[in-house]
Amino acid sequence: MSPTIHAEGALLEVEDLRVAFAVGGREVRAVDGISYAVEPGRTLAIIGESGSGKTVGCRAIMGLLPTGTQVSGSARLRGTELIGLSDAQLRKHRGSDMAMVFQDPARSLNPTMKVGKQITEAIQTHRKVGKTEAREQAIELLRLVRIPAPERRFHEYPHQLSGGMRQRVVIAIALACQPKLLIADEATTALDVTTQAQIMELLLELQHDMDMALIFISHDLGLAASYADEVVVMYAGKIVEQAPAKQLFGAGGTVKMRYTRALLDAIPHLERPAHTELPVVTGRPPDPTSLPVGCSFAPRCPSAADDCTAKAPVLTEHAPGHRWACWHPCENGGAA
Amino acid sequence: MAAQLPDMTTTVLPPQPSLPSLVSSRRLRSQKIARALRLWVPAGILIALLFICFVWPYIYTIPPGDTGSILDSSLPPFSPGHWLGTDANGVDIFAMLVYGGQVSFEIALAVTAIGIVVGGVLGLTAGYFGSWADSFLSRIFDVLIAFPALVLVLAVAEVLGPSEMHLIWALTAFSIPAQARVFRGATMVVRQSPFIAAARLSGTGNWKIIFRHVLPNVIPGIITFSLLGIGIIVILEGAVDFLGLGIQIPQPSWGAMIAKGQNVLTATPQYVLIPSIVLLIFVMALNLLGDALRERWGVR
Amino acid sequence: MALVQQIQLQRDPGARSQIARRVTGSPALQLVGRRLLTAIPVLLGVTFLTFVVMNLIPGNPAQLILGINASPQAIAKLDAQLGLDHPFWDRYWIWLDGLLHGNLGIAYSNQQSVNSIIAQYLPTTCWLLLYALVGALVLGIIVAVLAARRPNGIFDRISLAVSMIGLSFAPYALALCVGWLFAVKLGWFHIIDNSLGNNPITAIKNLTLPAVSIGFGLFSVYSRLLRADIIEQMEREDYIVTAKAKGVAPWRVLVVHATKNSLFTLITLVALNLGTLIGAVAIIEPIFSLPGIGAELINAININDLPLIEGIVVVFALVTVAGNLIADLLYTVLDPRIRYGRSAS
């Protein structure tokens, strides 16, 4: 019997979400049974390499996957089941209760539509407001995301704005109807480091002000360490480690899963002696059409043993609030 | 402080049965069959038409396409000995289609070949070397393209006088700039590729690069364009014949057949309909084949 | 689509890079100016080529006019009269000079000025082309949008099949088949004795079949290209996903976002196809006995009236070049990226 994950007061509960699609005659299990929950006002970081299924999972929740994709499992937003809803029903939630910010602001905005219009469109899709009022709300939103001279920017086109400003516009669009859940899919990857920090700070401030739940998807563990409350690490479509950020990264941090450990070790540290070889994770992510039996990470894991390749470890809560899926987890600390 | 997860010390999530398989082999097979049909049906039609025009008359005697006996004039289709009927002069319609087809194919092939060779050299030069060679050549192409194709061909045909050879020259006035543009465009795209830069850096001569690296990558696009181009040329040639400025009677041609049928359209529409439909099938087969090849070779 | 890429490449690749420069004057004006400049050698080339080709005709025009039995003195006299005794370059210059002043010469056949002949027959042709073009565009856009709504659905497949036929049907053959079907069999239209008459209803009636003959092919090209472009936008562009993520209804995403952006490609295609459009009248008008420029051209060719042929051909070519130019300008004006240039802050 599958136990349900019931978190009291959770905003989003995802349970055993699976996404599969067919590519060139083979089945790809992009997401292979993931479960997590997010509360209002909390930040969840989903970390993983490309192809780990982190983006696909969230798009499945939003209903933004192409037709022909099969989704099963459960994703409940404030108790409302999202998986299995028709597109028309899902649309009511998209942009109003839950919103998404994407990676490349240069391409996420319609190049031939004025910035202001793109925001008012988001407003007027869900609320019955007149043109003037929508315009005022849009300008307020631009102000909220700290764009200077919002009244002027309202009438400009995306290419007239810098990268950082464009991303702020995308955030403004996402916030147009005060969503309870904001998903940021690699929202800062395409920006330079300074802008990255600014955008992350902005997101967190807005989250705090609007009491939103924030999920941010990234491959950058550093971001997770700095900004997240809870971290989920994904590999080959499954969750391999899940814990509050402090437990993973804080002093005396207890990273258990080998993969997470490897990701952490691959971040250059100032404290390491000069010219130490950077321990990168060897190998490549597995081919999603032919996943190995047993632990998906085993081919690349330095401590893989026979039982790792024989049987896949199951995600288990071995310590309070901390789950991992590994037969031979790291001992405490264990920095390289 | 931790996100609230169930208050159990061990939460075991047993492996779930997988989703029903998305990939039904039956669906895949029917997709593959459809894809093969899209290629081979038009190819088959073209081969059949070519066979009828070039091989059949040597296997099985057919009546001449330019003369006929008055006794046999205006026979309807399905008459004995003339399965498509005869025209007002007793000339067999089927024979006219066959011989007219021969001429049209020959002209189209010749024009396309000349277009590819001459236009190819010009287009490759313009696309590869760029700068003033490109500007100069492009202006020339622009001038030629500015004339509507039919008008250009008519003008040249008019100047040279009506005959098959002159018709070929006239049609190349359209084909050469058209092919040159395609070559130029494709060359410019390929030129940006890293392997071209590598070849240049290693000191390979320009023309060697063009023939060994650029050309093979440009060929699929040329083939698909040429298939389309042959259709256009046949239609253009038909138009010139239609106006009486191309292949002269008594030599048969599809365009002339259609033109002659105009006057008796009300009474005997088949003189117009039959060659029109044959022309339509031929060009459609070319277009469909071009589309199928484009799909298969990934030419965009 | 090969066509889309060809279009994008044939647009002068250097022009866009100029836009990034911040110079006095709007970048749009810069592009306009540049385009006009490149058009001039083309226009000159067009006039030159026309003149060269027309004057290659073997035989003496004066003789052709006067006939075989004319005396040498009569020929010489007509030669001088027509200005044929001047050397080639002089004649070209005289003709070009006349052209620049709007004078296209005198027709051999009836001694009328070529200008007046063209002016006489131009309106019919213009109405015909307008009818064909507007019809093809409107239908093409509607069908493309409906087809793109559900790619590979029933409507899409049918529209692709129909447009494949339209692409492959020779206009003259189509004209006759359609004429037979609707005029002869169904009696809805006439195919002889067509002039525009005095009232719009007659005009529309008489122009419908010819317009369909030209327009069907155009419709096929437009609908296919637009459909392909829209589908590509819907499947590949990130801003479409953003729009969907906002909760915008699918129809609105399709029409307001994707189609609007695809219309740019369509405009370019219309311009590039202008030549084919114009050229088609040369064959369609005679079939339906429409008193237009195309029919006049064919007449002129049949009686070897050189100045008239020259005049009409040059007008055709110049209009095509002008059309391309206008389309380029339209593109500039409509695409906000070009109009407003880059102004990062």
Yes or no: say if A133 and A218 are a contact pair by the CB < 8 Å rule.
no
Residue C290 to residue A202: CA distance in whole angstroms: 70
pLDDT recorded at residue B230: 94
Query: DSSP assignment, residue A249?
Result: H
Judge residue C201's burial from the number of C-beta atoms within 10 Å of its C-beta, 0-12 exposed, 13-18 middle, 19 or more buried. Answer: exposed
pLDDT recorded at residue B1: 36
Identify the three-state secondary structure at position A23: strand
pLDDT recorded at residue C288: 86
C-alpha neighbours within 13 Å on the C-beta side of residue C278: 29
Give the model's confidence band at C339: pLDDT under 50 very low, under 70 low, under 90 confident, else very high.
Answer: low
For chain C, how long is the longest CA-to-CA vector? 86
In this structure, what token pair is assigned to residue C319?
């209009």
pLDDT digits (tens, 9 = 90+) for C115-129: 888 888 888 898 899
Q: Could you tell me the pTM of the whole model?
A: 0.81
Task: Name the residue among B209, B60, B202, B65 with its Cα closest to residue B128.
Answer: B209
Least confident of A106-120, C38-52, C119-133: C38-52
For chain B, how long is the longest CA-to-CA vector? 106
CA of C239: which chain A residue's CA is closest? A108
Least confident of A259-268, B13-22, B48-57, C230-239: B13-22
Per-residue pLDDT, averaged over B231-244, amounts to 89
| Chains adjacent to B (≥3 CB pairs closer than 8 angstroms) | A, C
Least confident of A22-26, B170-174, B206-210, B264-268: A22-26
Average pLDDT, chain A: 82
Per-residue pLDDT, averaged over A251-274, amounts to 69
Identify the three-state secondary structure at position A235: strand
List the single best residue of B12, B19, B25 to mutate versus A (max A Cβ within 10 A): B19
The H-or-E segment that residue A73 falls in is strand A70-77
In this structure, what token pair is assigned to residue A158?
């995306």
pLDDT digits (tens, 9 = 90+) for C254-295: 888 888 888 888 887 887 778 778 888 889 998 888 888 999
pLDDT recorded at residue C106: 73
Task: Name the residue among A8, A11, A33, A4 with its Cα closest to residue A79.
Answer: A11
Residue A260 to residue B35: CA distance in whole angstroms: 45
In this structure, what token pair is assigned to residue C27?
């970048």
Interface of B with A (CB under 8 A): 1-6, 8-16, 18-23, 28
Number of H helices, E strands in chain A: 12, 12
Give the model's confidence band at B227: pLDDT under 50 very low, under 70 low, under 90 confident, else very high.
Answer: very high
Question: What are the DSSP calls for B79-142, one per residue?
Answer: BTTBTT-B-TT--BHHHHHHHHHHHHHHHHHHHHHHIIIIIHHHHHHHHHH-HHHHHHHHHHHH
Q: Is the pLDDT of residue C200 over 50?
A: yes
pLDDT recorded at residue A5: 46
Measuring CA to CA, how many Å separate C216 from each of B171, C155, C323? 24, 18, 21
CA of A245: which chain B residue's CA is closest? B2
Contact C60/B at CB under 8 A: no
Q: Is the pLDDT of residue B36 over 80?
A: yes
Query: Taking CB atoms and an 8 Å limit, are B142 and C173 in contact across chains?
Result: no
pLDDT recorded at residue A174: 92
Give the gap in angstroms from C-alpha C211 to the nearest C-alpha of chain A: 34
pLDDT recorded at residue C66: 65
Average pLDDT, chain C: 78
Per-residue pLDDT, averaged over B290-294, amounts to 90
Least confident of B118-127, B134-143, C19-28, C102-111: C19-28
C-alpha neighbours within 13 Å on the C-beta side of residue A1: 3
Question: What are the DSSP calls for A104-169, one per residue?
Answer: -HHHHS-TTS-HHHHHHHHHHHHS---HHHHHHHHHHHHHHTT-SSHHHHTTS-GGGS-HHHHHHH
pLDDT digits (tens, 9 = 90+) for C65-87: 666 666 777 777 777 766 666 77
| Chains adjacent to C (≥3 CB pairs closer than 8 angstroms) | A, B
Q: Is the pLDDT of residue C19 over 60?
A: no
| Triad B109, B112, B113: Cα angle to 5° | 85
Measuring CA to CA, how many Å separate A256 from each of A240, B49, B61, C214? 10, 72, 87, 73
Rg of chain B, C-alpha, whole Å: 28
Yes or no: say if C132 and C274 are a contact pair by the CB < 8 Å rule.
no
Residue A260 to residue A52: CA distance in whole angstroms: 13
Size of interface A-B (CB pairs under 8 A): 85
Q: Is the pLDDT of residue B66 over 80?
A: no
Task: Name the residue among C245, C215, B94, C122 with its Cα closest to residue A62.
Answer: C245
* A155 φ/ψ angles, rounded to the nearest 5 degrees: -95, 10
C-alpha neighbours within 13 Å on the C-beta side of residue C92: 16
Residue A243 to residue A229: CA distance in whole angstroms: 9
3-state secondary structure B159-206: HHCCCHHHHHHHHHHHHHHHHHHHHHHHHHHHHCCHHHHHHHHCCCCH
CA of B136: which chain C residue's CA is closest? C41
Residue C199 to residue C202: CA distance in whole angstroms: 6
Least confident of B2-11, B152-161, C66-75: B2-11
Per-residue pLDDT, averaged over A244-268, amounts to 71
pLDDT recorded at residue C304: 75
User: What are C116-120's contacts with CB under 8 Å, separation 24+?
Assistant: C117/C296, C117/C308, C117/C311, C118/C293, C118/C296, C118/C311, C118/C312, C118/C315
- Chain B contact set for C324 (CB, 8 A): 146
Q: Is the pLDDT of residue B233 over 70?
A: yes
Measuring CA to CA, how many Å separate C160 from each of B232, B278, C215, C337? 19, 21, 16, 33
In this structure, what token pair is assigned to residue A276?
């130490």
Query: DSSP assignment, residue A97?
Result: T
Per-residue pLDDT, averaged over B155-165, amounts to 77
In this structure, what token pair is assigned to residue A195?
């802008």
Give the model's confidence band at C190: pLDDT under 50 very low, under 70 low, under 90 confident, else very high.
Answer: low
Q: Is the pLDDT of residue B174 over 90?
A: no
pLDDT recorded at residue A7: 52
Place of tokens 């999603």: A288
Interface of C with A (CB under 8 A): 235, 237-239, 241-250, 257, 260-261, 335-337, 340, 342-345
Give the gap in angstroms from C-alpha C125 to the nearest C-alpha of chain B: 15
* B297 φ/ψ angles, rounded to the nearest 5 degrees: -90, 0
Q: Is C324 left (phi over 0), alpha (psi -120 to 50) or beta?
A: alpha
List the single best residue of A316, A322, A324 to mutate versus B (max B Cβ within 10 A): A316
In B144-203, the residues whose Cβ lies within 8 Å of chain C are 144-151, 154-156, 158-159, 161, 181-182, 184-185, 188-189
Per-residue pLDDT, averaged over C31-59, amounts to 76
Contact B118/C at CB under 8 A: no
Place of tokens 């003369």: B67
Residue B248 to residue B255: CA distance in whole angstroms: 11
More confident of the two residues C99 and C148 = C148
Q: Is the pLDDT of residue A9 over 80?
A: no
Give the gap in angstroms from C-alpha A294 to the nearest C-alpha of chain B: 12
| Chains adjacent to A (≥3 CB pairs closer than 8 angstroms) | B, C
* A81 φ/ψ angles, rounded to the nearest 5 degrees: -75, 125
In this structure, what token pair is assigned to residue C326?
């206008």
- Chain B contact set for C173 (CB, 8 A): 238, 258, 272, 275-276, 279-280
Per-residue pLDDT, averaged over C233-248, amounts to 88
Per-residue pLDDT, averaged over C45-57, amounts to 77
Question: What are the DSSP calls for A269-300, one per residue?
Answer: -SSSPTTPPP-PPPS-PPPTTSPPSS-TTGGG
Q: What percent of chain B has pLDDT over 90?
A: 24
Q: Is the pLDDT of residue A250 over 80?
A: no
More confident of the two residues A282 and C324 = C324
Yes or no: say if A329 and A257 are a contact pair by the CB < 8 Å rule.
yes
- Chain B contact set for A60 (CB, 8 A): none
Task: Name the residue among A231, A124, A92, A103 with its Cα closest to residue A171.
Answer: A103
In this structure, what token pair is assigned to residue A39?
């509360």
